[in-house]
Structure 1
Amino acid sequence: MDLRDYLLALMEPLAPGDELEPGLRFTGASTELGLRLSFLVEERDEVHVEVGPRELGLKYAARSERLSFAYRDGGADHVDQKLGFRVCQTVAAHVGAREAEVLSRLALDVEAKAEQAEGSARIRELHGTRLLELAGVPGERFYTLSPYLGCLIGCRFCYAQSRLDPMRALLRLPQIPWGSYVDVRVNAPELLERELRELPRHVIKFCPIVSDPYQAVEKRFELTRGCLEVIARADDPPPTLIMTRSTMILRDLELLRSIPHAWVGASIPTLDDSVRKHFEPRAASVPERLDMLRQFKRAGVQRCVVVQPMLPGDPIALADALADVVESVSIGVLRGEMGAEQDFADPRFAHARGEDWQRREAFALRDALEERGVSVWVSELPPPIAKWRPAAAQA
């Protein structure tokens, strides 16, 4: 069993599709964006309930004896506070009856899957039962695909660590710094091959939150490549977006070119490589990332860039550089400093932690990109790939 199976076990005897109470339908569980149980209220409002160990002291709307529960909306509109609290309280009451048994089984499972130290990194090899996880909002659904959980590139401002810390705590794994651990789903290609046969078609987005598909362990395990090979040989391969901060992706250029609707995305939060070295010391340099995108451009593969957070540098020069290699860019601001407090404490960069500065720079970059004919998008997917529908849905 993987962690998602234990989340589902907490909801037993309910299964996805069943009502927890009239008008509150349980729709599924996910570990891609943290520990999450999802519900549909009155067949209209999506509410995601985030689960964490009570001892972490997380913000909560309800608690059971050992777990805490908070709510998050599933779309553009915020969940009504009373509704969010009611859903969390109902879930907590249901889960409380089973949590002792389920968490005891989980503890035994964790003992059998100990982390192995490899240099300064801690690595767990896992055999999962599910790989693709449905995400997005109605009208723009996609699957997340993460062969790895955790990221050895380890950008300290990355908000993924806030999603994985509760997961590690629930697994009774040591709370060690972000960037020093990774779980490896060693059977990811086999799972993907089965799921592409069994599940409805949607866009696939590699490692959107909790990992980088081309971090260092990919050299050893080649799971990202294995998954791409599965997609490439599938009947009617789904559109595939793969995001990275690594130039190792060039190894798979020909493979990606063979996938009809493949997109390559890079994260480039600044044009100043000295700033990149300060905030992203293990990631590829800015010139390397731009050159990687140029090579995919010459190969005819669609490309995009995500700029998040805004880091110090000239937004006009960044717009010029991006306009040369991509046709669309997503812009986001800092979502909390996470483990990067010391990075932002440096007097050279302290101004960049401010919300006003982040928004001002984001607006300046947006305007400069639009002046250069580069589209700016705010959803999870670039507009062309977001509009894709399987042939059956178009008929």
Structure 2
Amino acid sequence: MKHNVKPSLALTAALLLSASVVTGCATTPLTMADVPAVHDRTLTLDTHIDIPLTYIKEIDPSGPTALQVDLPKLDAGQLDSGFWIVYTPQGELTTAGIAAAQAISETRLDAICKLTQNFPESFGLAKTADDVRRITDEGRHAVLIGMENAYPLGLTGYEEELKIYTEIGVRYVGLTHFGHNQFGDSSNPHPTRDNGPKWGGLSPDGRKLVDILNKNGIMVDVSHAGKATMMQAADLSRAPIIASHSGVKAVADTARNLDDEQLRKIAEVNGVAQMVALGSYVKLPTAKQAAAREALDKEFGDRSGWWPSKQARYDERRKKIAAMAPEATVADFVDHIDHAVKVAGIDHVGIASDFDGGGGIDGWKDASETQNVTAELVKRGYSEADIAKIWGGNLLRVMEAVEVVAEQ
């Protein structure tokens, strides 16, 4: 665990500025020997940590587990904080589909709350940027809640449904997931339910939802959203938006990754794009791997109804396909950060692991290896102030801006 008391981001910036003024020049470039101390001083925030439906009920995250994120791994890697995710797969736009989705989301939401309730000495629920700083200063891990896929909010009455999630602690909502929903088009249409774009971006309800999220102090998340959906959300939102876990197309051209126009739009609205460490979005598969993955997905079908045992079988098969070629590395991952910084600017880029949801690359397999990302940033020449922005400062700035808009 990091030291219980560490300077705030504002104080860190002030100290760095002071050092620059005293010396009359830029601060001395970091070396690899500086990595442990820099990592220790940096508030690290991962915007996407998934959990299984058996979390807390059958899995005790306070001890060693088979998960990529548990307390021993968080402590070992000095990963201070993150968004634990209420993920719901996309189902049919029917009353029955919504009911099933709400049951899934409630199960995950309850588990995240119990994480902080059962282990208050190690975890604290954060609802504001200041909460994150306070909890991590206390030497605990700050647990924020993100909602991946707005689908469970319903076909009607979603403003009231959102209030329930908001009161509990949800602080970002992803508009879509795989497959179009009632709020907008996805970057990845469902192979059987969807036939091209459904709405041409946001639906009328999606436009209303963006406004409701602004009013409630919830960050609008455009990861998984189609480009038109994302661009329209950026223009409509009165607060900065985020892409909670996305890569960049210029490095790996997949449907889910962001192109340069999208990166510039996120910067234009003072948002942040969180680069994701999920191998298939970091580094493109070979033709042989792509064919094998397509065949596997066809064999296993729609994942929305999978039990943990089926998910485990699928994951094991995916591992064998991944082993056909060298996997993505931390260096490959930071290539995405480099490009996003070049296009959007240092103030608009962050980090997401997607651990326990498919994430993990060579060098950052789980939370215990988090320092390796900081090491690669140092190796690339980033300053400590820049590393602090990428690792959490930018996201906390957006949170604060969203909080201000909600108060207006």
TM value normalised by structure 1: 0.37
- Which is richer in helix? 2
TM value normalised by structure 2: 0.36
- Which is richer in strand? 1
- Whose RCO is larger (CA < 8 A, sep 6+)? 2
